[in-house]
Amino acid sequence: MKRCGDEGMVNKLSQGFQVHREARDKLASTIAAYMRGEIRSDKFDEIIFCDIVNINDFKRDKAGWNIAFDLWGYYDDLIDHNFLGTKEQWDYFKRLIAFLKTDYSLKKREIKKTVWHPVWLYRILLLLLVLLIGLAIYKYSIIIAYLAWLGLGMLFCLLAFCVKRYNEKNVKSEEIIEIKNYSPFHSENDWEAHEYLVKDYLLPEYNSDLYNVPLRSKKSDKLMNVFFIFSLAFLWPLYVCFQLFDFDDVCIEYVREEI
């Protein structure tokens, strides 16, 4: 990765918070260029991670730095492509551009999003694994033990799917909806008050025919899903061990904080 020699302009605000105006402006322009189709994903990645993040002192701008690395999850770094995503992702990019034009910081907001976390079921699964594997090895063979492992793995996959679906249907938090629709701003009114900051970038209207299309073939997606399911079936005890801890699953998002 190359090192940018520019010293950069850093605005120092209260409480040690800093805004790197040059880096934020360049990041906003790069996002806009990607959305307009002027650059593709490989170039998008190169500008952010070989140029912008190497600008001196940008790391001190925690908000801008976090946004730069958050963008990595919104494109495929194995296939070079134009912007691809849903209308929600398109709107999120617009909000990021607007945020980068401000001098705001970010703070964490945590919202509980799990209403059912069956720790006792995970403990029973792990106990069954130990008992069945031990019994199979003692009385039968390694092959029977392997089949017991695989069978419990498939049972765990089914349980994990049911838990996920149940929580998705039963968690109806207005705060989570706000996070999904208006992050990194607080609410619809907060976003509308800053939406004007995006106008100078001349972004096109979202076109689902261009942007909401699959990157890979359906056959490739199915193969990846099958590989994931079988991986989970073999390695499921590791995930179960993690699930033994009784915790509240939360939706963590960053929202703006005015200094």
Report angle CA 69, 37, 94 to the nearest 5 degrees: 50
State pTM to two decimals. 0.69
pLDDT at 225: 76
pLDDT at 131: 76
| Regions in the chain scoring below 50 on pLDDT | 1-16, 248, 250-252
Residues 6 or more apart whose Cβ sits within 8 Å of residue 14: 259
- DSSP characters over 162-214: HHHHHHHHH---HHHHHHHHHTTSSSHHHHHHHGGGGGGG-PPPP-HHHHSS-
pLDDT at 252: 46
pLDDT at 10: 40
First to last CA, the chain: 33
Q: Is residue 19 within 8 Å of 64, Cβ to Cβ? A: yes
pLDDT at 217: 74
pLDDT at 148: 73
pLDDT at 205: 96
